[in-house]
Structure 1
Amino acid sequence: MITSTFYKRYFSHIIAAPIVVLAMLSPIGNVFSQKVSLEPIPLRVTSQVFSPDEYFISKVVDERKDLNPTAFLVPDVKSGSNLLTVNLEGGTIAALEQYIFGAYPSSQKLRSIVIKIKDVKIIENIKDARKGVVEGDIHLDFTFALERGDELVDLLGFQGGISYQRGVGQFYLLEPFLRRSVNLAMKYFDDWIEKDAPNNNLLAQSVRLKMRDYTRSSESDTVFYATERPLTWKDFTGRPAFNNYAASIFASIGYELNSSMENGELIVDLVFKTYMLKHSSWVRSTNNSYGLNHEQRHFDIAKIIIERLKNTLQELELDPSNYERKVSHHYLEAFREMNRMQEAYDGQTSNGSNSSAQERWNKKIDAELNQLGVE
């Protein structure tokens, strides 16, 4: 009897070309001596196939759109297109779950994987009525998803199965064919995760932050904060606004996030930017060093907020499922804190015109910069 194994996989919505493998199984034998059976198809755990090292199967979920019976079988040589409809023993999902849990035991301390069952079908037709030869296809459509908290992250899709031939009465062959198809899907996923686990961000089991400042001193319209490079009035190139202020600075903060894998650990590289925009900052020609100091202190406040943010992030417990969300949340909180502090600074110093208040803020800002290690 000739069987062909076929499958294809998809990841990140990329479909790979089908791969066809031919294998010889047992011969058909006396096909007319078999008694027709209409019993549900069993799926037996005959032995442990393998124990996964990188994951365990936590559940099998039903996502089939077609809930018709699993198998459409040829009952006899005279049936023509009239096929028998048969389910798996105990129900399709229950049978698959029972088999997978039994054949692939593993430690629940590993990654939790959910198998989404998209489709399971066995469809037959008469190949040779004179000889009583039936041919069929077993088709499986599974999606393997990583369980992270309350969300499922799709990792790999498997579409494939086995093409087979049997004698018209050899219904007992359906169980080993189906078992082989399921084992094919499981082995395909296991090979993939063994290969990708050290390098795939989705499969990281821990997170380590690396934080640094953007090191370029300046760009055409941007000045990045550096203690050795204080502001000058030449950095204020914008057109003065129609108000009574002597100068204005656009100072802000931002970050870039990049990640990579090292031996199964997700390394998150956070690059922080404290900057001012020249074209959005301006000064009237009558200003002086006292006014420049007031604007420099706005810049210093932005730097203080970035350093506070670094300290906050350093104390967080992060995992691969939430690190981006947590970093973004605390950045937004820091941005709001910066705006509140800038408003308090301008309010208490009357935009720099209150010299005694300005001096108090000078000392306060210098003290915190020193405490935060900005020298």
Structure 2
Amino acid sequence: MKWIFLAFFLISNVLFSQKIYWNENVKLNWSNFKSKINNHGGTNVVAYTNCGWIYSYVKSSNPKAPIKIEINTVFNEDKSWKDVKRINDYVLLHEQKHFDVAEVYARKLRKEVAENIKTSSDFDRHFKTIYNKILKEYKDFQRQYDSETKNGILEDKQSEYNRIIAEGLENYKSYKSS
């Protein structure tokens, strides 16, 4: 007997949100930020990007059976916010990079899963640990990114992070979602 599970995690319940799946050929635009409520920052915050991962898997009750796991990066339009009086293209680029960072870490998660989880038994033993490790790295990087760029205000730091994020996407390109 096979089960399909869909787990929602990282910033909020994405089940009822409008989602954009990360795609290297599709960039965010201000119309994607649909929330009217800024409940994630103070008066300095110009925009908030709500993004993360969703995953699903198909596994068997046979512990030796192969498992199929799919991991996607999503942007949640209904939970992403902007201050319409202060937005500009530069701020949008900073917010796009938050979404790109989510994809970098989704690729890292896909890599770890591909290397360590082949069967239903492997999933039961290892997935949660792998997921929690990558999630912690992801959250730490997002915090560091905002802190060091001062939410994108420091242009030289923003440029440095643009390069780091682009390198991350390139380094893990073989783990793009298919």
TM-score (norm 2): 0.79
Deviation at 1:259, TM superposition (A): 2.1
Equivalent residue runs for 1:1-375 within 5 Å: 221-241=18-38, 243-260=43-60, 266-285=65-84, 286-316=86-116, 319-373=119-173
Match of 1:308, SS? helix
Match of 2:67, SS? strand
More strand by share: 1
Deviation at 1:266, TM superposition (A): 1.4
Amino acid at match of 2:97: R
> For residues 287-312 of structure 1, what are the alpha-carbon distances to aligned partners after superposition, in whole Å with 9 as ceiling and x for unaligned?
11110000000001110101011111
CA RMSD of aligned residues (A): 2.5
Cα gap change, 1:255/1:220 in structure 2, threshold over 3 Å: closer, same or farther? closer
Amino acid at match of 2:20: V
Deviation at 1:257, TM superposition (A): 1.2
Task: Structure 2 unaligned segments of length 5 or more: list them.
Answer: 3-15
Cα gap change, 1:317/1:223 in structure 2, threshold over 3 Å: closer, same or farther? closer
TM-score (norm 1): 0.39
User: 1:287 & 1:230 partners in 2: Cα distance?
Assistant: 16
Cα gap change, 1:367/1:335 in structure 2, threshold over 3 Å: closer, same or farther? same
User: 2:21 & 2:107 partners in 1: Cα distance?
Assistant: 14
User: 2:121 & 2:17 partners in 1: Cα distance?
Assistant: 38
Task: Structure 1 unaligned segments of length 5 or more: list them.
Answer: 1-199, 202-218
Instruction: Answer 1 or 2: higher relative contact order, Cα 8 Å, separation at least 6.
Output: 2
User: 2:75 & 2:18 partners in 1: Cα distance?
Assistant: 8
User: 1:245 & 1:320 partners in 2: Cα distance?
Assistant: 43
> For residues 193-239 of structure 1, what are the alpha-carbon distances to aligned partners after superposition, in whole Å with 9 as ceiling and x for unaligned?
xxxxxxx67xxxxxxxxxxxxxxxxx961111111211111110112
More helix by share: 2
Amino acid at match of 1:288: N
Amino acid at match of 1:238: S
Matched with 1:216 is none
Match of 2:126, SS? helix
Amino acid at match of 1:230: K
Amino acid at match of 2:79: S
